[in-house]
Each structure stands twice: as structure tokens, then as C-alpha cells.
Chains A and B, each alone.
Chain A
């Protein structure tokens, strides 16, 4: 890595408070340039979360889905049936097939949720194309079909009562699946942007001797820490706004951000996640081991924080893990500031204060441990 060494030479000749501010701004400029030269860092901070949003948004979320109504399915029917069979499947859509092969092909190409072949009134075959995408839903589809074919078999005359679904709003706006996904993606983006970047700042810079060279300049350790952290916070903010913009453009995200509190959450949580990165670096000492541990932790948080699927889908023995992950709480505050869920003001402030104070304390600790010329610190 070629550091902006020229700017560091300038630092030697700057003294006094006014000059200190200029030095600080120079440091920020240096770190910004250095950050964007690191292609891997830019990819993981800016594009990786966008990639996740597009992948999961297109695969798992259907624009036709409405949270307000019961999920509606499309069934294909073939075989030996009487004319008004479709009324037993209401309100779901029914398509009739002349050919079993065509029915199977349409199930495999996902034009149909499932297919039913009526052999006799009390004898049916149900065709489905099970995949992981619709794992839980396939159970519900099965129940719908079973009820419908049984009603058909007995010629059920009527429903004795009806059911009315009523959506209870949790926040200022009604959140859709994409809104919940988006807040999860934002959480993971903040996590990766904060955690990985700070390992690079303290671990990699220390190993490559960058910090040692800084120590011979008039730059103070706190200036180094603050300017490098500031740059990472800035990069993270850019990433977050790109994600929100794309979600609004391509997925019609319904979020109603309170931008001031949103900015506060982004900054406090980035600092908090940086603190987590420092903690990992302190525990694992070596930069490569810290990166590995962070990657594993990132993977664990992806699956255990309830972002891509409810925590209830996990075995009961491991659900408690979600309660100790910071990303779980970060997702909650993001859902609050985006208006899709509610939260008490005290809880909101507490979570943000924990992020900020934990982050600042750990960053200060990192400056004492790593921004030093001591030779016995190995990374």
C-alpha cells in the first residue's frame, strides 16, 4: 500500500492551533484518498450491501405480496373433477390444465404454487416443487390444498363463519417485506463498514509501519484516530444513502425516515461497530486472524439477528443468541427511525448511548495500544 507520504511531510512543519486544524483536515484528506484506493475496502463497504439488497430483494420478495391480506396462491388443476371445483379453492386462483406435463412444467417454472391431479373425488395427487425459498410457505400451501380438496370431496355447502384479517400498524407507516429487508441490509452495512474498516486502520497500518511513521510527525494520536474513524464513518454514510436510494428506486421502499435521528443512529452505530472491531483486534491480536474472526461474526450475525428470516425459524436452543448480538438492536432502532416500528424514547436513547460510549472507549483504548511507537506490540 502506498500511503500519501507527501502530506505527512507537510505535517512536520505545521505548528500552532490554526495549523493544528489544517493538519487535522490534511489527515482527513489523506485518509479519504487512501480509503478509496483500497478497492477491497470500497467493495465491501459500498457495493457488497447493495449486492445483498438486490439479491435478497429479487429472490425473496414479490412485489405482488401485500402484508394486509392473506397470501394468495395459484393452483393448477388436472384430471377427473366436477365443474365448480374452483369455488372450493377461493379466494385463491385456479387454472385448469388439459395436460399433466404442462401442469408439471408450470409448477417447475413457478407459474403455479402447486398442482392438483384429481384421480377420484377422494383420491388426489398434489404436485409441488419444493425449494428452500418457500420452505415455510409450502406448509401453508399444503394446508390450503388439503382443506379445499376435502371440502370438494364432501360437497361442502357453505362456510359457517368468515375471517377478516386486520393489519395493526407498528409505526408511522406500514412496513412491507422490502422495508424490513432494507433495514436489515442497512444494519449489516453499518456493521461491516465499521468493524472491518477499523481492523484495517489499527491492524494493517500498524503492521505496515504507517503508525510508526506518524509518530515522528507532530500529529497527535487522537488526531490519527479521529481522522481515520471520521473517514470510515463518512464512507459508511455514503454507502447507507446509496442503499436507501436504490431501495426507493427499484423496490418502492415505503420507509419514512426522520433524517436527523437517522443520521444520529448511523453515526452512533458506526462508532459502536468500530468499537466491536477494536475488541476483536485486541482479542485476536493478529490482523489476519481478526479479519477471519470478523468474517465469522458477520456470518453469524447475518443468520441469527432475524434480518433475513424470523428468529423463530431457528431451533429454540439457539434463539437466545439473537438477544446478545448488537446488530439485533441496531436493526430495531433503524426500524424505529424509518417509521415502520415503534420504540420507547428511553430505549432509543439508551441503545444509541451504549453504541457511542462503547465505541469511544474502545477507540480510545485502541489509540493507547496501537498508536504508539512501542516495538513489543505485534500485529
Chain B
């Protein structure tokens, strides 16, 4: 009974604090929507709305077959439904370079004088055709445009070889980041990240800061003189933290219904691993609370650790090949293994031993250190 009352009181205290509700429940859901909206189409050439602004400059008007080839090419790019290319045509007298510098164009393809010799080049071998120039700047969108245009011109060369016919090829794409036969799905990559982010918010901030705050305000001491047992207090505290986290997870699951995420997220295996992740992370919170008495110091440390962990766990991008002076943290940090474990389950791959062993080691370290310093929590 006392456990129930304590739990309700602590849970109400949590939900009264706007910051806890916002950062634990609302923010991960908002970030999930943001990441999926912005980046889920990144791998799909056909859904890409790049809107690359290409300038086409003819130093002399093209004629014959050359005109037909490139005219059809640019017409096809312009009429592309995915809105990838936006083409503007210039004469040699126009100020196309100014347009490039003013960012009205991302890249320019320049057909020099004498390029019409290509018409002869189709028939005769040793005809010298001036090079097409691709003018670009050092901006990343411009260098991307340059690389795309290089690939397109390469394909034009190929089509000239085949007299315009497509080559019949069977090209099977295999993604090594998921089980063979399963295509890479960015949503399966980011969903575990958002779950871990919500879990980290509780374990790095809510939990240790609450423990130290209750201790410094004398709340723990006041509770200890009530009939409530110390174990009731401890479990009430844990359950109240857990409740906030569960709400966050429920919201993320609800949001995920609007996206095409692997159905494995409803499997017992995934839920089991999720629970394992929560317990491991919460032990982290106990670890932080064990070492720091002052809220200001704890707040600084947990902020540093939170951002380090968030960016060096592979939550948002792959960190497997970063330099060693940073990678050591990736290797010892349990969140790396927890998020990869969830991804493996979603991608129908098996769990690796280190995805369980290393987080388990941290779980026991957290519990043991906390138990050893239990006096700080029981005061």
C-alpha cells in the first residue's frame, strides 16, 4: 500500500515537471518525425526531391545527332516526375558564372565550340572532340551535382556505344546491413535510435538528477522517518521513472504505425531486448547518482556524457570507422551495442554476443557501485 502511494506521489511529481514530460516523451517523438520525414527518402533515387539547378551553356548551337542526343537527354531530365533536376539554358554571352556564384545555379554543363565534331566522331575514330566542361563550386550540393552529371555523361557514352538501346542486365543489389533479401530501410535504422534516446533521457537526466535533488532537499531523509520502508521508496522511485519512459515508448510505437517499420518491432525478442536496454540504462543513472552529490556538478557531467553517448553510439550515423581517439568510447559504451542489437532484430539478423555481454557488464557495474554507495541514496 505504501509502495503504491509513494509511486503515485513520485509519478505525479514527474508529470508536473514540464521539462521531464517534454524531453522524455515529446522530444523523441518529434525527432522521430523529423528524421523520418527528412532522411527516409535519402536512399531512394526516385523519390529524391533534390531540385538540382543545372545550367546548360552552348558555346555554339548543337546540330545533327549530337543535338538530338543531348536535346532528348535534357528534356528527359526536365520532365522527370521526381523533381530532381531544374534546367536553365544559356548562350555564351549570358552571365551564367554570376548565376553560379549567386547560388541561382548549382552546377553548369558547358558545351564548347567545336563540340559538333562529335557528329563525325560517331562514324570516324580519330576525330578530336573538345571536352564537355562541368563547372562547379566547392559547395557540397555543387560537388554532388558535378558527380551526378559525370555519371549521366558516362551513361550517354554508353548509349552511344549501343546506338541508344538500353543494355539488358540483371543487377541485383544486396545490402550487407540487413539480412540477404531484405532491403535497407532507414526507418528500421532510426526507430531504435529514438527508443534509446528516450531511455537515455531518463537514465542520464531524470533519474540521477532526481536522486541527488531529493537527497539535497532532504526529501529522502523525511521519507526515512515515515513508516515507509526504504525498499518501498527505492522501488517507488524506479517505477515512477519507468512509467514516464513507458509513455514515451508507447508514443513512439504509436507514431511508428504511420511509417513502414519492420513488424519485428512487435516481436517478443524485440520487447525482451528493449526491456534489457531499459534495465541496463537505468543502472547507468544509478551509477551517476552514486558519484556526485551536487546537482550543478552532476548536471554538467550528465550533459557531457549524454551528448558524447548520443553521437558516439551510432544512433544517427555510422561510427564504426572513426579515429581511435574517439572510437574507444564507441567500443566501451553499452548504447552502441543496445541500438545495434535492436537494429539486428528488426533486420532479421541474429544478435551478436557482445550486444548482450557488454551491456550486461555495465548493468552489474551500475548495480554494484550503487549498492556500495547506497548510503547516499538512503539518507
Residues of A within 8 A of B (CB): 1, 38-40, 43-44, 47-48, 51, 54-55, 58-60, 67, 70-71, 104, 107-110, 122-133, 135-136, 138-140, 142-147, 149-151, 153-154, 156-170, 174-177, 179-180, 288-289, 292, 296, 299, 303, 309-310, 312-316, 318, 340, 342
Alpha-carbon distance A123/B322, docked complex (angstroms): 35
Asked if B161 contacts A151 (CB within 8 A), the reply is yes
A292 touching B18 in the complex, CB below 8 Å, given contacts A128-B173, A130-B175, A132-B39: yes
Asked if A176 contacts B138 (CB within 8 A), the reply is yes
A130 touching B147 in the complex, CB below 8 Å, given contacts A150-B169, A167-B138, A316-B49: no
Alpha-carbon distance A164/B169, docked complex (angstroms): 29
Q: B100 in the interface, Cβ–Cβ < 8 Å?
A: yes
Residue of A nearest to B45 (CB): A139
Asked if A165 contacts B136 (CB within 8 A), the reply is yes
Stretch touching chain A among B152-160, B226-234, B282-290:
B152-160
Alpha-carbon distance A159/B150, docked complex (angstroms): 13
Closest A-B pairs by Cβ, 7 of them: A135-B42, A143-B151, A310-B141, A39-B300, A131-B318, A164-B131, A150-B167
Alpha-carbon distance A327/B149, docked complex (angstroms): 31
Asked if A130 contacts B43 (CB within 8 A), the reply is yes
Among residues 131 to 172 in chain B, which have CB atoms less than 8 Å away from a CB atom of chain A? Answer: 131-141, 143-144, 146-155, 157-158, 160-162, 167-172
Min C-beta distance of B319 to chain A, whole Å: 6
> Which of B18, B22, B141, B157 interacts with A161 by CB under 8 Å?
B157
**A314: B residues at CB distance < 8 A:** 38
> Which of A133, A139, A142 interacts with B317 by CB under 8 Å?
A133
Min C-beta distance of B265 to chain A, whole Å: 19
**In the complex, given contacts A130-B43, A147-B158, what are 7 additional A-B residue pairs having Cβ atoms less than 8 angstroms apart?**
A39-B297, A71-B143, A131-B318, A150-B169, A160-B129, A180-B139, A299-B31
Asked if B160 contacts A160 (CB within 8 A), the reply is yes
Asked if B303 contacts A43 (CB within 8 A), the reply is yes
Min C-beta distance of A218 to chain B, whole Å: 31
Q: B174 in the interface, Cβ–Cβ < 8 Å?
A: yes
Asked if A140 contacts B321 (CB within 8 A), the reply is no
**A127: B residues at CB distance < 8 A:** 174, 176
**B138: A residues at CB distance < 8 A:** 67, 167, 169-170, 174-176, 179-180, 340
Asked if A147 contacts B154 (CB within 8 A), the reply is yes
Q: B122 in the interface, Cβ–Cβ < 8 Å?
A: yes
Alpha-carbon distance A39/B143, docked complex (angstroms): 41
**A168: B residues at CB distance < 8 A:** 97, 100-101, 135-137
Asked if B131 contacts A161 (CB within 8 A), the reply is yes
Asked if A126 contacts B174 (CB within 8 A), the reply is yes
Q: B371 in the interface, Cβ–Cβ < 8 Å?
A: no
**B267: A residues at CB distance < 8 A:** none
Residues of B within 8 A of A (CB): 18-19, 22-23, 27, 31, 34, 37-39, 41-43, 45, 48-52, 83, 97, 100-101, 106, 115, 118, 121-122, 125, 129, 131-141, 143-144, 146-155, 157-158, 160-162, 167-177, 184, 186, 189, 296-297, 299-300, 303-304, 307-308, 311-312, 316-323, 326
Alpha-carbon distance A172/B308, docked complex (angstroms): 36
> Which of B50, B134, B322 interacts with A312 by CB under 8 Å?
B50
Alpha-carbon distance A60/B322, docked complex (angstroms): 9
Asked if A40 contacts B19 (CB within 8 A), the reply is no
Asked if B19 contacts A316 (CB within 8 A), the reply is no
Asked if A177 contacts B140 (CB within 8 A), the reply is yes
Min C-beta distance of B228 to chain A, whole Å: 29
**B151: A residues at CB distance < 8 A:** 140, 143-144, 147
Alpha-carbon distance A296/B31, docked complex (angstroms): 10
Alpha-carbon distance A174/B138, docked complex (angstroms): 7
Residue of B nearest to A139 (CB): B45
Alpha-carbon distance A176/B137, docked complex (angstroms): 10
Asked if A160 contacts B118 (CB within 8 A), the reply is yes
Residue of B nearest to A1 (CB): B296
Alpha-carbon distance A47/B41, docked complex (angstroms): 33
A–B complex contacts, Cβ < 8 Å, 17 sampled: A1-B296, A51-B308, A58-B322, A104-B176, A107-B176, A132-B189, A143-B148, A146-B171, A161-B118, A161-B153, A163-B133, A163-B153, A177-B140, A292-B19, A312-B51, A313-B42, A315-B49
> Which of A109, A146, A162 interacts with B132 by CB under 8 Å?
A162
Min C-beta distance of B313 to chain A, whole Å: 12
Asked if B51 contacts A132 (CB within 8 A), the reply is no
Alpha-carbon distance A313/B35, docked complex (angstroms): 12
**A48: B residues at CB distance < 8 A:** 307
> Which of A128, A160, A289, A316 interacts with B121 by CB under 8 Å?
A160
> Which of B22, B50, B171, B177 interacts with A131 by CB under 8 Å?
B177
